[in-house]
Amino acid sequence: MGEAQRLAAAVVGGVLAGRSLDAELAAAWRAHVQLDERGRAAVQDLAYGTLRFLGRFESLLEALLVKPLEDARLHALLLVALYQLEHGRAAPHAVVDHAVRTCHALGLTSAKGLVNAVLRNFLRRRVALGKSAQRAEPARYCHPQWWIDKLRAQFPDEYAAILEAGNTHPPLALRVNRRRAQVADYLERLRQHGIEGEQYGAAAVLLKKALPAARLPGLKEGEVSVQDAAAQLAAPLLDLANGMRVLDACAAPGGKAGHVLELADVDLTALDNDAVRLERVRANLERLGLKARVVRGDACEPAAWWDGIAFDRILLDAPCSASGIARRHPDIKWLRRATDIAQYTQLQSRMLDALWQTLSSGGKLLYATCSVFREENREQIERFLERHWDARRLALPAVDHDIHARAGQLLPDARHDGFFYALLQKH
């Protein structure tokens, strides 16, 4: 427990300093190559859990301290320990003991008494402190205040459910590659491996319990891919037909590109401006046994990569706040700022305008985000339609009766993430 606690505190501290959770975990794995799968899982659970409920633990820690801590490492360690005491299975005395020992490992010997006193004080006053913390909305909802206020204004009836969903463990959904397997057959294969799952939608399988990717049967062979059920709507919504010329803009890591090619024999260009992430696109297509033209380029600058031949279909899975998938990346809640939304909307507008030039007459562009904020979604499309007389928004076809998108907006729930879709046709 001690090593997991120490490494998780270092990861959480890195996020609080402004770095991404993924980057901090990757750095931890590089620095501690001796960690096995179980050890990594323990560190990841502590880091994710602490950040998922960070608003609550910050409030609790503030109430427990006489004055703010000056050492960021000590601050992060106490946050992780509070998470363990509230949500962990280890005995409370073991959590406290290891936290005190970790002080010594970090060279914070003088803080051992403080850590011991703070954590034991929490255990004595746990109920009262918890009730007091609930009075502040960032502690009650475990999201920053600006995020709470925005959702309350935009979704007055649903904002609390959206926030609650953002604090849950995300569902693990698989997409069955119907070129290689059938959903019913794959479900039977899962049962043979002792894995419980259910069909959800046309090609999605929801697992009852999340598993490491390495333990998923058929993944390496390209029979399935890990993809959220809401994201699996993108390719069907494009209304594909064999022989079409299709662009997947912002294609990395390649999940939607693979789905497009699973559904139809099209001439696909997978575009992204990140060379490293494009390697993941190539790897995913190779695993699935599919081929596409993989191009590095900026969606805002088609002249640098477009050959002038119009596309019949374009998928723009635009960069966004990722507010619909915060439970998968709990650091997003604390790294995003209210001012970031305007920057995302400006980039999305530039991409839409640039890619519209490359769409054929009668062609369709599917705009998608993993956001629930209206500035990036409904309002973005309204502004686009005002700028382009030759564009109209189409009603979303009923491609999947199990997954419903109200006016294109899916809100996060127990089965899928938050997502937005708008289908545009050029006239």
Q: Which residues are catalytic?
A: 370
Q: Count how many Cα atoms sit within 13 Å of the Cα of residue 370 in the half-sphere of its side chain.
A: 20
- Closest alpha carbon to 426 in 304, 266, 313: 313
Burial-class residue 93 by CB neighbours within 10 Å (0-12, 13-18, 19+). Answer: exposed
**Contact indicator for 177, 222 with CB cutoff of 8 Å:** yes
Q: For the chain, how far is it from start to end, CA to CA, in angstroms?
A: 62
**Contact indicator for 246, 315 with CB cutoff of 8 Å:** yes
**Strand-pair category, 359-369 with 419-426:** antiparallel
- Closest alpha carbon to 405 in 367, 352, 359: 367
- State how far the alpha carbon of 286 is from the alpha carbons of 169, 214, 258, in Å: 30, 17, 10
- Closest alpha carbon to 319 in 346, 286, 291, 357: 346
**Strand-pair category, 311-317 with 359-369:** parallel
CA torsion 311-369-352-310 (nearest 10°) is 0
What's the CA gap between 340 and 75, in Å, rounded?
27
Bond from prior residue into 217 cis (ω within 30 degrees of 0) = no
CA 395 to chain centre: 27
SS3 9: helix
What residue type is 317 in one-letter code? D
**Contact indicator for 403, 233 with CB cutoff of 8 Å:** yes
What's the CA gap between 314 and 368, in Å, rounded?
11
Residues counted in the chain: 427
Q: What is the CB neighbour count within 10 angstroms for residue 137?
A: 17
What's the CA gap between 195 and 205, in Å, rounded?
11
* Angle value at C-alpha 299, between 417 and 426, nearest 5 degrees: 85
Which DSSP letter does residue 418 get? Answer: -
- Closest alpha carbon to 216 in 257, 261, 176: 176
